[in-house]
Amino acid sequence: MLKRVVITGIGGICGLGNDVPAIWDAMRSGRSAIGPIDNPSLHDLKVKVGSEIKTLPDHGIDRKQVVSMDRFSLLAVIAAREAMQQSGLTAHADNTYRMGAVVGVGVAGFETIEENYRAILIEGRNRAAIFTVPKVMPGAAAGQVSMSLGLRGPVFGVTSACSSANHAIASAVDQIRLGRADVMVAGGTEAPLVWGVLKGWEALRVLSPDTCRPFSADRQGLSLGEGAGMAVLESYDHAMARGATILAEIAGAGLSADASDIVAPTVEGPEAAMRFCLVDAGLNPEDVDYLNAHGTGTKANDQIETAAIKRVFGEHVGALSVSSTKSMHAHCLGASGGLEMIACVMAIRDGIVPPTANFREPDPECDLDVTPNTARERKVRAALSNSFAFGGTNAVLAFKAI
């Protein structure tokens, strides 16, 4: 029998706030953090809108560690420390090799990459900065989290574009189920609001000129954001033995691939991931009260995701509350699943379904209950979180009350 895995701490940082209480307060209020990006280096951009962390908190991380980190790693460490503090756990000689970290990221180290290109190609320097390589590694965030918290168990990075956080959390669950660890810190992080990344997304012609309006008929595309969302996962037995407060159970995960197109999604891939997740979690469609949709705000994604949800949930779809919190924190790529994990856990804890903000016009091709603009009180017994990515990689997580 598979070990049960529970969440005993969560941490986050994004444009909505510098910790989970602030993020959740903004989500409940339907408050969007999407707006003009305040960065003078972002010249020559047609779209200069996103969800930006305006000021970092006083995080207390040692300066010697900070200078070896790109922004995406720093955000991960800030969120992981918050999650660890809430869990009440600390690493020590007796448990350090039973505690690990898995952190997902989509586009790693671009702040550092651009700084070095600018220094060498524009300013004429003849060498890169000394920490360039360890800063830009996709696995750097996981390593920095392990060093900050003293975790010596399984530690590695995951990168699968916009599904990275959910893949990381699913991988961490596997480490506990397989007996390789008792505790795992897992989630996702991203810092994509740099010139090169935004120019690349601009070329795809999927960026909204004003804001993100998932499932609304007048949606014009996605908005990018930065942030991190992390959770402390434990085996149920380990958490109970130490008298921990359990926030929710990670009941299951479902993974699939479209094997079709590098950017265009299919209905079948997301459908399969949701079905696999329900089976892994031991849930029936009617057991799920809330679904945090991938909900990017592009025409194709929202229509295809709607079709997949309707296939999976059938007659229950009319009773299912759906929302896309990307309408508030924007699409944070590899961090999105981590932030959406926070939304699912807090929906279960507080009995509140966060809304889809910025919604203006119903779309007949997206005829779900998308919780438009206003949060809804509802008992949430179980919640699903969808993450779908370029490359056709899909990862869905199931959370339930305990």
The catalytic residues are 162, 294, 331
Give the C-alpha distances (Å, rounded to integers) separating 204 from 97, 133, 143, 215. Answer: 44, 28, 32, 20
Answer yes or no: are the C-beta atoms of 282 and 252 closer than 8 Å: yes
Give CA–CA dist 150/354, Å, rounded: 34
Strand partners, 21: none
37-66 burial code (b ≥16 CB/10 A, e <16): beeeebeeeebbbbbbbeeeeeeeeeeeee
DSSP one-letter string for 44-84: S-S--EEE---S-------HHHHTT--HHHHHHHHHHHHHH
Nearest-5° angle of CA 206, CA 388, CA 172? 135
- Between CA 267 and CA 304 the distance in angstroms is 6
The Cα 165–Cα 338 span in angstroms is 6
CA dihedral 264, 269, 274, 276 (to 10 degrees): -150
Q: State whether residue 217 is helix, strand or coil.
A: coil
- The span from the CA of 294 to the CA of 273, in Å, is 13
H/E stretch holding 200:
helix 195-204
Q: Is the distance from CB of 145 to CB of 77 less than 8 angstroms?
A: yes
Residue environment code for 316-339, b if the CB has 16+ CB neighbours within 10 A, otherwise e? ebeebbbbbbbbbbbbbbbbbbbb
Q: Is 96 helix (H, G, I), strand (E, B) or coil?
A: helix
